[in-house]
Amino acid sequence: MAKVVIALGGNALGNDAKEQMERAAVAAKAIADLIQAGNEVLVGHGNGPQVGMIKKVFDEGEKQSQAPNMPFPECTAMSQGYIGYHLQTAIEQELKSRGIKDRPVVSLVTRVEVDANDPAFKAPTKPVGGYYDEESARKLMKETGNVYAEDAGRGWRRMVASPLPVDILEKDTISCLIENKRLVIACGGGGIPVIQKDGKLVGAEAVVDKDFANAKMAGLVDADVLFILTAVENAYINFRQPDEKKLGEISVAEAKKYCDEGHFAPGSMLPKVMAAIMFVENAKGKRAIITSLEKAADALQGKCGTVVVC
């Protein structure tokens, strides 16, 4: 039996409640497959599209009706709640349908400490929310002072700081729940980012990358495997080029080399590979697997996926 942390991408979830419940049911089947095979599972998830939608609603409400605005940490907390609710419900239903009754599911509001001096705060690069054309984005920059930039040819999006996780404040609670045979959903959206200020914890206007947060969480709970789930079965070098090559098992040294050579897109595969490196370097003998949700069970058996080892 392996202790497995699953980093589920926010784009694997939905753009509205109905769509998200449908997609959560799909994710629940893959998660239940791993549990049914005898593994201990801890689930993290992204929230890039969802937290952006929440923030946009509050921004529009403030402009149109003087409704109070909501800072990013609170928006992340809201996304943790509703995404966790959908995943929790879907996983419970899937486990129940398979006769698995000894794995109660709990979704935990999770805070992730970041360094107030992290250079990411001076250079926002994390895209969140919906897409805009360039004219609309530049108008929003003038009106709000926020940073917008073009995102992978799909349009302009708001950019926020993405500092690295330093600690997960609920780590002891997570470990206690796991020891008591609970399936935990934690670090939703990378966790609610908080910093130390005047001896107190306060929310930070940022979004922690969910892959880095889940790599940190996997290390803290002594997981055997970190699953980073994405839209493709493997990572590639020379992606979509004539000499494209699918990556199977690679060492940390090879992964770093490919990162340095620029094979992975900064807003897509690069943070996934870097998170895999982070986990494996600090957890000798462990594995990080990058693959699709549908192939998770096969990847754990070594049949597919990109596997990063020390």
Show which residues are catalytic: 10-11, 126, 210, 272
At which residue do the structure tokens 């693959």 appear? 291
CA angle 233, 239, 241 (to 5 degrees): 135
The span from the first CA to the last CA of the chain, in angstroms, equals 21
E strand or H helix at 126: strand 126-132
Q: Which of 300, 1, 5 is nearest to 175 (CA)?
A: 5
At which residue do the structure tokens 């908080």 appear? 194
Residue by residue, what is the 3-state secondary structure of 176-206? HHHHCCCEEECCHHHCEEEEEECCEEEECCE
Cβ neighbourhood burial of 192 (10 Å; 0-12, 13-18, 19+):
buried
Number of other residues whose CB lies within 10 A of the CB of residue 261: 10
**d(C-alpha 188, C-alpha 228), whole Å:** 14
CA angle 73, 289, 10 (to 5 degrees): 30
Cα dist from 173 to 101, 138, 224, whole Å? 22, 44, 19
**d(C-alpha 184, C-alpha 172), whole Å:** 12
The alpha helices in the chain, defined as continuous H runs, are 17-36, 48-65, 72-97, 134-144, 171-179, 210-220, 252-260, 269-281, 296-300
**d(C-alpha 235, C-alpha 213), whole Å:** 20
